[in-house]
Amino acid sequence: MPGYFDLSGRIALVTGASRGLGLAMAQALAEAGATVILNGRHAETLKVAADRILDRGFSAETSVFDVTNRHAADAAIQSIVARHQRLDILIANAGITHRAQLADWTSETWGAVLEANLSACFFLAQSAAVPMRSQGHGRIIFTTSVVGILGRRTVHAYAASKSGLAGLTRSLAAELGEYGITCNAIAPGWFETELTASLVADKAFVARINDRVPLRRWGKPHDLGGTAIFLASDAAAYLTAQQIIVDGGLSATM
C-alpha cells in the first residue's frame, strides 16, 4: 500500500485487540505494513488473534497485560521500545461497560469503568509519549463512542468516560503537537461484535437502530480499519485533536 497510507516500518500497539474492533484495527494496520503488537489480558486468546494476522503474511506480536495496571502497561511499552527501538502508534481501545439504573450504581462500578476507559488511556498515552517525543513522531488514537456524544440510559459511567476521553484527546493534542505527535479519536456507533451479540440477536432492536442509521445497517469491525489507517498514517499528518465519528450517519440525522 504505497504513498500516504503506507505504514511500513511503523510499530503499533493496539490495546483490547484480541477480538472485535481492536482486532479489526490491528489487522488493518498490519495490512498497511505496520508491525502490530496486540494487547489483551489472556495469552491464549491473543495468540489466536495474532496467528490470524501472521497466517496472512503480516507482522504481529502479543503483549499480555491489564491496561488498568499502570506499572505493567508502562513496562510493556518499555519492552516494545527496547525490542524495536521505537513506538510509532498507540491505539488505546480496551474498555468495559456496565449497565444499571441510576439508583443501583455503586462507587466501585463507577470507578472501575472510569479506570479502564479513561484513566488507563491517559497513562498509556503518558508512557507512549516518551519514545514518541524522542523520535519526533507519533500517533495516539483513542476509541471513544457515539454514546459519549448522544447519551444512552443506564450506561452513565461509559458515557462519561467516553466524553472525558474526547476531551483528553484535545488536551493531549495541544501539548504533544510540537513534538510531531498527533492525538485523535475514533467514535464508533453500533457495531456487530462479540460484546453486542445479545443485542444483534434482538431483531426488533436491530431494526430500530437500522431505521435511524442512514446506511441502514450496523457497522462491521472492518469498517473501522480505514479510519485507523488514515489516522495512523502520513495522510493525517496535519490532523490532530479531532474525534471522527464512524456511525453510518446515526449522530448526524434526526
3-state secondary structure 92-141: ECCCCCCCCCHHHCCHHHHHHHHHHHHHHHHHHHHHHHHHHHHHCCEEEE
Q: Which of 4, 158, 179, 238 is catalytic?
A: 158
Place of cell 461497560: 97
Active site residue 179: no
Dist. CA 244–CA 254, nearest whole Å: 19
Question: Is residue 114 within 8 Å of residue 161, measured between CB atoms?
Answer: yes
Coil, strand, or helix at residue 76? helix
Pairing of strands 11-14, 243-246: unpaired
Per the DSSP assignment, residues forming a β-bridge with 154 are none
Q: What angle do CA 47, 50, 55 make, to 5 degrees?
A: 115
Contacts of residues 74-79 at CB distance under 8 Å and 24 or more positions apart, as own/partner, are 74/123, 74/127, 76/13, 76/39, 77/13, 77/124, 77/127, 77/128, 77/130, 77/131, 78/127
Residues with catalytic function:
158
